[in-house]
Copies of this chain bind each other. A is one copy, B any other.
Amino acid sequence: VGGPANGEVYTALAEMEELLETESVLITNLEGYIRVQEDKLNFLKNKMDEYQREHSDASHDITAYVSNPINAYLLTKRLTTDWRQVENLMEHDVGTDFLQNITQYRSLLKFPSDEDLNGAAVALLRLQDTYQLDTSSVARGKLNGIQYSTEMSSDDCFELGRQSYVNHDYYHTVLWMNEAMARMLEEPTNHTQSFTKADILEYLAFSTYKEGNIESALTMTNELLQLLPHHERANGNKRFYEKEIAQQLQLRKMKGDD
Which residues of chain A have a CB within 8 Å of any CB of chain B? 9, 13, 16-17, 19-20, 22-24, 26-27, 30-31, 33-34, 37-38, 41, 43-48, 51-55, 57-59, 62-63, 65-83, 85-87, 90-91, 93, 95, 98-99, 102, 111-114, 116-117, 120-121, 123-124, 127, 138, 141, 148-150, 152, 155-156, 159-160, 191-192, 194
Contact = CB atoms under 8 A, between A and B. Distances in A.
Contacts of A148: 68, 70
Nearest to A43: B192
A86 B159 CA distance: 16
B43 A31 contact: no
A149 to B, nearest CB: 4
A70 B117 contact: no
30 contacts: A16-B66, A16-B67, A19-B66, A20-B62, A20-B65, A20-B75, A23-B51, A23-B55, A23-B79, A27-B48, A30-B86, A34-B44, A37-B41, A43-B191, A47-B192, A69-B124, A70-B148, A70-B149, A71-B149, A72-B120, A72-B123, A72-B124, A73-B123, A73-B156, A76-B120, A77-B117, A77-B156, A81-B194, A82-B155, A87-B102
A90 B95 contact: yes
Q: Which 4 residue pairs are nearest across A and B when measured between Cβ atoms?
A: A16-B66, A70-B149, A76-B120, A73-B120
Within the oligomer, what is the number of copies of this chain?
2
Contact of A19 (B45, B68, B75, B111): B75
Given A69-B120, A72-B120, A80-B116, 14 more contacts: A13-B66, A20-B58, A23-B51, A26-B51, A26-B79, A33-B44, A34-B45, A41-B41, A70-B124, A70-B149, A75-B120, A76-B120, A83-B111, A87-B102
A32 to B, nearest CB: 11
A178 to B, nearest CB: 18
Given A71-B149, A102-B90, A19 B52 contact: no
Contacts of A22: 79
Contacts of A102: 87, 90-91
Contact of A27 (B52, B150, B152): B52
Nearest to A155: B82
Contacts of A95: 90
A189 to B, nearest CB: 10
